[in-house]
Structure 1
């Protein structure tokens, strides 16, 4: 198990909870995890995968289980961080007295075991459908070369152009934008390509 000295700095910075964070850190490090610092907070990995995080806030501190959704949570101590978080679960504390070492360690060990078994929620990659605004649709219909060039673009680039026109409120602005993007479409480049290459 590797220790990162910057984690000690993180713990010292949160002096209100430093003793409690040190206790949790020692419990986590008593297992086979590797310690690192990600997103300016201690993160514990197994085989390069994020398993557990340690964090402190104004009024509480806790442990984050990156794939906590798979934990049995028999003691009902886990919380969903936010409504939109699918996999992440947290064990929150307000003081060092709230920490039950046996419970913490059993959850940490289960999380490690789950990771080894490959239990992880993969992020969903949703491909949005490209909705072509009427102004662009009309231009493509009346210009065969432009239509071919547009169809040759990646769905992401097509979407950028469609959203660029659709996001304009006034018809005049939509047509002005269409006029400006036409040469870019004909060149086969994306709306933001010039910025990406800077």
Structure 2
């Protein structure tokens, strides 16, 4: 985390140092880690909160932000996290308010509360095989049965593999290979699965 803060823009360094100090003051047993390339704070093995520095602002967010500050404030920010675009330490909430929020986040972890699902995250619909793959599957009942039995994610792997072919001959070869593998009951990346 020291290296991350040192690499941050000059304006962001005091913000990140202040946030770090505040989190440790409110939650002494917290542990520091880097996840997704950004500093995060972990309490009892669960992510408590995290911070990041960008070119013109920094951000801070609680993992269960909607449960801590409310869904409106959590979703209403124009930046990652709950406090908007931080450009100076003065942009942070007061120390007492911040400590209260950290304690609330700790309590959620202690009680086992789950992070609410994102309203924007919608399950992907099952993929529709392109016409050439669909025709090849129709001609091979064993492959069709395997494809139909796959969960959508495994169906999508085959569909995307076929659809990303740049040349027509590559696409034909992929369709033929896909049908052959599915007739044998194999997932797309069967070669890389542990035996």
Fold shared per TM-score above 0.5: yes
Counterpart-to-counterpart distance in 1, 2:162 and 2:139: 17
Note if contact 1:135-1:174 (Cα within 8 Å) is conserved in structure 2.
no
Tell me, in whole angstroms, the C-alpha distance in 1 between the residues paired with 2:32 and 2:50.
10
Give me the whole-angstrom Cα distance separating, in 1, the residues matched to 2:171 and 2:131: 10
Cα-to-partner distance string for 1:14-65 (whole Å, 9 max, x where unaligned): 3623333222222111123512122343211222111211222222223221
Assess, with a 3 A threshold, how the Cα gap between structure 1 residues 89 and 38 changes in structure 2: closer, same or farther: same
Q: How far apart are residue 131 of structure 1 and its match?
A: 1.7
Q: 4+ residue runs of structure 1 moved beyond 6 angstroms?
A: 169-173
Shift of residue 91 of structure 1?
A: 4.6
Q: How many residue pairs were aligned?
A: 184
2:64 aligned with 1:71, yes or no? Answer: no
Q: Which runs of 5+ in 1 are unaligned?
A: 1-6, 83-87
* Correspondence 1:73-88 to 2 at 5 A: 79=77, 81=79, 88=81
Q: 5 Å matches for 1:124-143?
A: 126=123, 128-143=125-140
Distance 2:14 2:166 in 1: 55
Distance 2:34 2:185 in 1: 38
Partner residue of 1:44 out of 10, 19, 41 = 41
Any stretches of 5+ residues in structure 2 without a counterpart?
Answer: none
1:28 alignment counterpart: 23
Q: Is the 8 A contact 2:62 2:105 kept in 1?
A: yes
Larger Rg: 1
Question: How much does 1:195 deviate?
Answer: 5.0
Tell me, yes or no, if structure 1 residue 180 matches structure 2 residue 177.
Answer: yes
What root-mean-square deviation, in Å, do the aligned CA atoms of Structure 1 and Structure 2 show?
3.4
The 5 Å alignment of 1:100-139 reads 100-117=94-111, 118-122=113-117, 126=123, 128-139=125-136
Under a length normalisation based on structure 1, what TM-score does the superposition of the two structures give?
0.70
